[in-house]
Amino acid sequence: MTPDIRLVAVDIDGTFMRTDYTYDVPRFERLLAYMHEVECAFVVASGNQYWQLRGHFPGHEDELCFVAENGAYVMDRGELVYMRTMPDETVSAVIDVCRAHADEVWNVLCGVEGAYCERGAVSDDFFNEMRRYCHRLSWVDDLKATGDQILKFAVSVPDERTDFFYGFFRRELEGMVEPTTSGHGSIDFITPGCHKASGLARLAERRGISSEQCVAFGDGGNDVEMLRFCGVGYAMANAPDEVKAAADRVCPSNDEDGVLVTLEELFA
């Protein structure tokens, strides 16, 4: 093991989780126990909802750190470290832009208490699919009237139109939100300057460690800042070329348990 590793950050979809949304639990728990011994934090860094992320680690929820909603919600072993919500006027303006393209843009509004879909604006099938990523997901009559504080927008567009809409939203929403994408029709809108790397930086500062003592694993465009921030960034073998270019190394794919394989080597 390299004794300087004090923090390990992993993306979930396409990185830590296999395609069938499982992982080798006993193998992970052995690694986690050792990381506790050497005082190395395990951080789950994802664009997904905090309530969904902690559900993947039953019995360990309050032992882990979470950088959820692409950095807008940061938890350290059960304690809220940071929360960044969007101004109401920003939320309203973004909703208006999305509604102008309602035939191709389907929206999930992600708040502190839960996530929301607008009744009549998206299909039941879409709603049920999103429940895989948002364990607290509700129907509302109007996205502008959720009564919640909003952390992030999770937008779905046609897969083949991802690049078009990514560029479109960057132009239309400049200064209000920052679009980020993991590809395949998924685009998140986050507060500018609020991303996975900013969340890791807060956890590192809180623990008195440097970015050089951090290791990260990712496979998507929203992992790039995190991979660059850490002393060593691993792109998964299943990641696109632009993500591999941002990383220091490439490890086996998510379906080959690449994160666990690599951690076993690092903590040998």
Enumerate the active-site residues. 11
Please state, in angstroms and as integers, the Cα–Cα distance from residue 61 to each residue in 69, 113, 121, 128, 239, following that order: 17, 18, 34, 25, 27
Please state, in angstroms and as integers, the Cα–Cα distance from residue 172 to each residue in 20, 101, 127, following that order: 36, 12, 26
The candidate with the shortest Cα–Cα distance to 57, out of 98, 1, 17, 112, is: 17
Inter-helix orientation angle 258-266/25-37, to 10°: 30
Q: What are phi and psi of 46, to 5 degrees?
A: -150, 160
The edge-to-edge listing of strands for the beta sheet with 106-111 is: 137-140, 115-118, 106-111, 150-156, 186-190, 178-183
